[in-house]
Structure 1
Amino acid sequence: MSIFEQVQSVITEVLEVEPEEVTLETYILRDLPTESIDLMEYGVGLTKECGVSVHDETVFLRSFRMHLAEAEDKGFEPTAHLLSVYPHLSSDRVNEMLHTINEGPVLQVRDIVAYVEHAKHA
């Protein structure tokens, strides 16, 4: 089973949605009926299903906007600063997030997959 399939399985089990509703491009908080308690359950499920230690703050980008504000306040280049906090993300993905941040929460399934992949190789 691929990492995406493992992540998809965790999300569909927690939310009781069909697998077709959970793609790499699906926004966790915009497209799915995810509540904060569900994020905790995702973390537990990812630990069991994928065998990685899950740091909720990082995997679910909980402080993304705070880190962005911190970069602006301290005069850091935003993309570089965010990459230092979220090393599992690519610079292209961070830039995409920065361009869509005003549309709502930026976390997608592919970001969780990237976290798991990164954690497995760390």
Structure 2
Amino acid sequence: MAQSAAVRTADFPRTSPPIDLVQLATNTLGNRDLEIQVLQMFKSQASNMLARLIAEADRNEQKRLVHTMKGSARAIGAVTVAHECERAEQQLAGPDAPSFAKLQAAISLANAYIDDLTSS
């Protein structure tokens, strides 16, 4: 667990929140209840898709999962997750085995932020 926190700290400086709340509000028309539903759905979907991505051996399926996750991240304003999805897509297009560590850290950070936002 400490290694995961170290990756988060090193790779994602806390200059901006993991989710752009203005983007989220724009896409949900300012409906707070809808924002919470969308955030919780993203959290669940991202965690499930990440587990599937890591377990998946077929690169085409990995590409599909990453691409879907990128769209979901963009929809809620999870810019860092979307960026790491793009990076993973580039890795999957190459010959080397991809590493999903940074994507995993970005999702973990976004999910922790979602927990903070929705725990009130």
TM-score > 0.5, shorter chain as reference:
no
More helix by share: 2
The TM-score normalised by the length of structure 2 is 0.36
Normalising by structure 1, we get a TM-score of 0.35
